[in-house]
Structure 1
Amino acid sequence: MFEIEVPDMIGKARVICYAVVNLWLPTGNTQHFVSSELQAAAYGLAICQYKSGDGYYLFYCNSDWIEFVDTWHETIDDAKDQAEYEYAGIANSWNCK
């Protein structure tokens, strides 16, 4: 198995946990839009936290771990629950730093 290199920071947020989406198909429970354009499934998900902020962000990233959409969550478990809602089975794929 090959090693995935995930940055310690995405933008200015610290990466806490990450998961590669490639094994999990989107459930279709949600859709994400940027400038009215429907976004494709993410390559990877990262749970991140800004130094000055409360809560956690679930970043939807491309293969270069650049975030293109995010959702805010009060807890890490809430972010993981959202990820599972969107990608059934991903709960067992999290890697934490």
Structure 2
Amino acid sequence: MKELYKIYLKNNISTPNKTLHFCGNDILPKPYALSIIQYDNDEGFYLFYLDEIGNEQTDTYHETLDDVFVQAEFEFGIKREDWIKLE
């Protein structure tokens, strides 16, 4: 597993209102950070939603890296250039 990009959400980034993520019947709280992950031997990419101590709250799967960036911008208004590239 490789962590490719990360971003810490600032207080001025609103809670997603276009997409809700659930754990059972409960709506998950706003993530503290987002991380883009690619697993070995997997061509797709995962957008991890992380809590304050780095635990994964949930994730979404995307076929391309561009799709991940589009999802993050759709949910949080995050531009591609805002991400911290880790590799």
When normalised by structure 1's length, the TM-score is: 0.79
Q: Are positions 1:20 and 2:12 aligned together?
A: no
Contact 2:16 2:30 in 1 (8 A): no
Aligned residues: 84
Q: Which sections of structure 1, spanning at least 5 residues, go unmatched?
A: 1-12
Q: Are positions 1:50 and 2:39 aligned together?
A: yes
Moved over 2 A (4+): none
Q: Which residue of structure 2 lines up, in the alignment, with residue 35 of structure 1?
A: 24
User: Could you tell me how far apart the structure 1 residues matched to 2:28 and 2:16 are?
Assistant: 14
User: Could you tell me how far apart the structure 1 residues matched to 2:57 and 2:15 are?
Assistant: 16
User: Could you tell me how far apart the structure 1 residues matched to 2:82 and 2:13 are?
Assistant: 10
| Structure 1 residues 68-88: Cα deviation after superposition (integer angstroms, max 9, x where no partner) | 100000111110110111101
When normalised by structure 2's length, the TM-score is: 0.87
Instruction: Give SS of 1:46's match.
Output: strand
- Counterpart residue type for residue 28 of structure 1: N
Q: Are positions 1:59 and 2:48 aligned together?
A: yes
Q: Which sections of structure 2, spanning at least 5 residues, go unmatched?
A: none
Contact 1:20 1:93 in 2 (8 A): no
User: Could you tell me how far apart the structure 2 residues matched to 1:96 and 1:26 are?
Assistant: 23
What is the CA RMSD across the aligned residues, in angstroms?
1.3
User: Could you tell me how far apart the structure 2 residues matched to 1:47 and 1:60 are?
Assistant: 9
